[in-house]
Amino acid sequence: MSQSIDQPELSATEWTFIQNLRALPDESLRNRVHASLNELLFFFRNPKCQGIGVEGFPCGEPRSSCEDCYQIWEMLDKVAERSKKG
């Protein structure tokens, strides 16, 4: 699957997401959302904390504490629940 910058192959969901990002009214808000999303994506790609993971093995090179990881996942679950209700 080869993509170019000029003609990216995005799903309808991906295009909607990009359009929603572009529709944010304030540049400072857009910058804050972009920074937050980049951090969130980093977290999803590297969910590592200082403790033992679900499998009983160390999580790897820690960037945050286990409590931080649990708080982030808990908040994401709450956000997901709110979006299902709306």
Instruction: Give the pLDDT of residue 43.
Output: 77
pLDDT single digits (tens) 3-53:
556 667 889 999 999 999 999 999 999 999 988 888 888 877 776 665 665
Distance CA 48, CA 11 (A): 29
pLDDT at 74 over 70: yes
Q: Where are the domains of the chain?
A: 11-45, 47-86
Report which of 55, 17, 13 is spatially closest to residue 34, judged by C-alpha positions.
17
Which residue would you say has higher pLDDT here, 22 or 62? 22
Instruction: Give the pLDDT of residue 61.
Output: 59
